[in-house]
Amino acid sequence: MEEIRSSQVESMVVVHGGGSFGHPLAKKYRLSDGYVNDSQLIGFAETRQAMMKLNKIILDSAMNRQLRCVSVQPSAFIRTRNKRIEEIDLGIVRNILDLSMIPLMFGDVVLDQELKFCILSGDQLTSRLAMELEAKRMILATNVDGVFDSNPKNPEAKLMKRMTIQDVKNLVEIEAESDQSVDVTGEMIGKMREILPVVEKGIQVIVLNGRMPGRISMALSGKRVIGTTIEK
């Protein structure tokens, strides 16, 4: 949140993932593939609770820095169909932005019209928001420096500083065609799939390491930063 404050960029939506709060529970109760039996329901409730808890921590951190952040719980107004957002009414999010405040959202367990419930990833949500709100830039803060040409744990892996939409398509296709997951880019492939239509729409996407001080702030301000810049 310090990064956001120091960037002095005013108009943005912030989305956080589930981290160590949501993911272990979602996995334990197998929520990602939808309803199987009633024993998952307490897991649904517990995961929602965990996400509210994490959101509160992040919100408090923002408010302590005088950022006018306003939590908007995604699962209160977004339902999916087969894990995908269909319609989304962003009237409230737009109103908050119009008032020069920052909507704070998160990956969440949502109701699904086919599967009863499922996980709405922060990546899917962010990509959709960027497109609907016609964002100038979408920044994905991860725990690696950006998109690498092979698994970033591999010491010979090289950071790709610039990618075109064709590069992204190639990555996604290589992954889809391989028998077993080749894990070209660590956990990056899911993000790559989601950002394809975002880049297609002409929105700049930057993947960077959110753990390194200054990077989010610089990227928000439009400055050059260590990471992967993806453009059409």
- Which of 6, 32, 61, 71 is the binder for a copy of itself (CB under 8 A)? 71
* Least distance to a copy of itself, CB of residue 209, Å: 29
151 touches 184 (CB < 8 A): yes
Binding mask 95-124 for a copy of itself (x = CB under 8 A): xx--xxx---------x----xx-------
Residue 87: which region, alpha, beta or left (left: phi > 0; alpha: psi -120 to 50)? beta
* Positive or negative: CA dihedral 28, 153, 216, 135: negative
95/221 with CB nearer a copy of itself: 95
99/176 with CB nearer a copy of itself: 99
* Least distance to a copy of itself, CB of residue 22, Å: 14
- Which of 2, 5, 19, 46 is the binder for a copy of itself (CB under 8 A)? 46
Total binding residues toward a copy of itself, as defined by CB under 8 A: 38
81 touches 88 (CB < 8 A): no
Q: Which stretch binds a copy of itself (CB under 8 A): 45-53, 169-177, 178-186, 200-208?
A: 45-53
Q: Which stretch binds a copy of itself (CB under 8 A): 16-24, 90-98, 129-137, 197-205?
A: 90-98
The residues of the shown chain that bind a copy of itself, judged by CB under 8 A, are 35, 38, 41-42, 44-46, 48-49, 52-53, 55-56, 59-60, 63, 66, 68-77, 79, 91-92, 95-96, 99-101, 111, 116-117
